[in-house]
Chains A and B, each alone.
Chain A
């Protein structure tokens, strides 16, 4: 077997920013659900779900986890965004002018309607929209988390966003988007195949 020199794809920094999110977000969402259980005002999950998932009667613990890990999530995310800005990699991630039109072609391609291959790029337009969108959602989560973590000190943020109750509702709603993102992301990674997955670990395609 001849050794071909592997083609670099993802820099080390990006791989770390990516994988650190896995434990941090899992814990943020599970502790968030523990907190949500104490007042499940928006969606009533069935009792067996709370019970089986071990989310009941742990509010104090849930708040401790949430208010510890939030700093790691915020710092990791801020470093990721700064990295893409300073390295210039944002150019590959931010959608261009025709992104919506191109993303529609990506959807047609993924559904098997468009037969010809997509134009070669590190990230296609649908990916650019998704990856940039999830960063904007993260920013929305961050602002709302300030508004509900210290609602008196940051009351100006809460008031700009429709008050404490609204900020809390949206803070709960955005992670549903993350879970959707995650489900879709895993599906696409499975479809893209092993080499693509490996590149996020080793850095090479």
Chain B
């Protein structure tokens, strides 16, 4: 039975090596690999499915970081920065005068729930500079919540600066006066109460990425 003992020993040693390798592997983050694979192979450009308007419901008001400050909606301004250009400031009426899009899409939370919601807004690409750099960063006015986006996802036709949810103006807890709606990303990227938008060549920091979640968070 020597053969058997040798075979068991070989399997034991090789198995321990595999487990040790796996253990090392678990220390690396798969996010960068998955992001590259998505951007280069799977793609990021497809349109998210749209639904009948009557399927829309009110989603939970999750994620209240950045909404603590009391703000006067009439004093709200959107600051836009791009390399080589001076800061542009827009009022909510100026944003609302841009071409308007209505869509009913599925909002998907990183926690696993999803809801169909109807949105009114304008595609973010209408405020983008002609040759937009690699990334876009958005923050709340108090800068306590912030998200980073890759250019393709930010300029995706369904990525909206939205001011209405299910036909009614956004409530404060849903991000009045303007929130980002981005069906190609998890809900964590749908930043509420946008204060500033920055087009940048450097990858912006991201609130949830700093807490271990995938920076890309693509769907």
Residues of A within 8 A of B (CB): 3, 6, 15, 19-20, 23-24, 27, 35-36, 38-39, 41, 59-61, 63-65, 67-68, 71, 150-155, 158-159, 164-165, 168, 198, 201-204
Contacts and interface: CB of A to CB of B under 8 A. Distances in A.
Given A20-B18, A155-B48, A204-B4, A150 B42 contact: yes
A68 B112 contact: no
A202 B112 contact: no
The 8 closest A-B pairs by CB, nearest first: A60-B212, A202-B7, A39-B112, A68-B30, A38-B111, A152-B219, A152-B48, A39-B111
Given A23-B19, A204-B3, A152 B111 contact: no
Interface of B: 1-4, 7-8, 11, 15, 18-19, 22, 25-26, 28-31, 34, 38, 42-44, 46-49, 106, 108-114, 183-184, 208, 211-214, 218-219
A40 to B, nearest CB: 9
A80 to B, nearest CB: 16
Contacts of B7: 201-204
Contact of A68 (B26, B42, B48, B108): B26
A146 to B, nearest CB: 9
Contacts, number: 99
Contacts of A63: 110, 213-214
Contact of B22 (A23, A41, A60, A165): A23
A153 B111 contact: no
A60 B47 CA distance: 26
24 contacts: A6-B4, A19-B11, A27-B22, A27-B26, A36-B112, A39-B109, A39-B111, A60-B208, A61-B212, A63-B213, A64-B31, A67-B214, A68-B26, A150-B42, A152-B184, A152-B218, A153-B38, A153-B46, A153-B219, A159-B49, A164-B108, A168-B112, A202-B4, A202-B7
